Amino acid sequence: MGLSKGVTNNPNGRPKGIPNKSTNDLRQWVGEFIDGQREQILKDWQALEPKDRIMMFEKLMRFVLPTLQATTLQTDFEQLTDNELDYIIEELKQAAM
């Protein structure tokens, strides 16, 4: 039988949301490597065919912009009051116009 969610055997462990040390070290190394290769990267970029540049640009965008995720909304209509249901119906009617 394991621990319940949110309970740990190490209360003094790494706080939630703080990346571990090896992740920080690797990110720093990669950042420094890329920073030192800027001129070569630009030369290589210019040497690419336009379609390859677009594909590379798209791949690089994933590291800069957050990806969109599908969301779902589940509503238990049985728990809503008549006034809340009427309001939803009116909003849907106006959105459909």
Domain residue ranges of the chain, discontinuous segments joined by +? 21-96
pLDDT tens readout for residues 13-41: 777 777 777 888 888 999 999 999 999 99
Angle at which helices 21-36 and 38-47 cross, to 10°: 70
Residues 77, 85: contact at Cβ < 8 Å?
yes
- Work out the percent of the chain whose per-residue pLDDT is above 90: 30
Can you give the pTM of this predicted structure? 0.45
The first and second tokens of residue 77, run together, are: 């209509």
Q: Which residues of the chain fall short of a pLDDT of 70?
A: 1
Asked whether the beta carbons of 27 and 20 are under 8 A apart, the reply is no
Structure tokens at 38: 């800027």
